[in-house]
Amino acid sequence: MTPLKVTLHELTNAGEKTKAFVQRAIQLMEEVVNTQGFRDAVAQQKFSYIHHHGTDHSKDALMRYLFEGRELGTDADHEIDLRINLRAFYYGFRPIRVLNKKTVGSTNLGGPVIHTNLYHINNWVAHDDVASGVGHWLHEWMHVVGYEHEDANGDENDVAYAIGAIAEHIAWERLGSSRALSSSS
């Protein structure tokens, strides 16, 4: 099995501390997606909704696109390509607009840019919550691959949500075990 690489090509609007946080999350994502546990969990997941912008909505295609690092309309390069823009989200428009604290991020189908809500990433950085970053950016990358939600809210078992959640869970496990290791040495 060819290992997957995770590459951060672009990160905009990040200060030094946030940049370091994102780089750690990217590195942890690369570890996570190459574990047998992640591969098995995705293979066994019963997705409620698999809808690809191309034509193949099968689970087999999903496994291929994911583990071949194939963004929508590109060839398999075994690389998860990430371009991340951090910005504030709002409800409504100027002059009457309200800070949106609910949406974590948004990505057009095929991306290439993932937009992450500053409100959330600032919280993750403050709590050193790298695992949430891993889950979020893999969720958004599934949109870059071409998977869509059924409606605006999505469903916790659709492709993007379920794969994000699996990655976050394994990220937590790996962080937990490395913390246990370092505290015992």
Q: How far is the CB of 147 from Zn ion (least distance, A)?
A: 8
Give a three-class secondary structure readout of 51-105: CECCCCCCHHHHHHHHHCCCCCCCCCCCEEEEEEEEECCEEEECCEEEECCCCCE
Q: Is 160 in the site for Zn ion (CB under 5 A)?
A: yes
Q: How far is the CB of 161 from Zn ion (least distance, A)?
A: 7
Q: Is 138 in the site for Zn ion (CB under 5 A)?
A: no
Which of these ranges, 29-37, 79-87, 91-99, 152-160, lies near Zn ion under the rule CB under 5 A?
152-160
C-beta of 42 vs 160, nearer to Zn ion: 160
Q: How far is the CB of 84 from Zn ion (least distance, A)?
A: 14
C-beta of 26 vs 160, nearer to Zn ion: 160
Q: How far is the CB of 53 from Zn ion (least distance, A)?
A: 13
Q: Is 144 in the site for Zn ion (CB under 5 A)?
A: no
Q: Is 104 in the site for Zn ion (CB under 5 A)?
A: no
- Where along the sequence are the contacts to Zn ion (CB under 5 A)? 160
